[in-house]
Amino acid sequence: MNFNTSVIRQRLLNALNASEDDYGSAENLRDIAFHMTDWLSDLKEWVKFCQNPAALSDDEVIDVLIGFLCHVPEHVAAAAKLSIDQPVRDIFDIGAVEIMKNDNE
H-helix or E-strand spanning residue 46 = helix 40-51
pLDDT at 14: 97
Residue 96 counted as domain residue: no
pLDDT above 90 for 1: no
Inside any domain, residue 97 = no
Which is nearest to 83 in space by CA: 18, 7, 25? 25
Whole-angstrom Cα distance, residue 74 to residue 24?
A: 20
Q: What is the pLDDT of residue 56?
A: 97
- pLDDT tens for 15-71 read 999 999 999 999 999 999 999 999 999 999 999 999 999 999 999 999 999 999 999
- Assigned domain for 25 exists: yes
User: Could you give the number of structural domains in the chain?
Assistant: 1
Q: Is residue 94 part of a domain?
A: no
Domain containing residue 9:
5-84
Q: d(Cα 37, Cα 3) in Å, to the nearest integer? A: 9
For the segment 78-99, the average pLDDT, to the nearest whole number, is 93
Whether residue 36 is contained in a domain is answered as yes
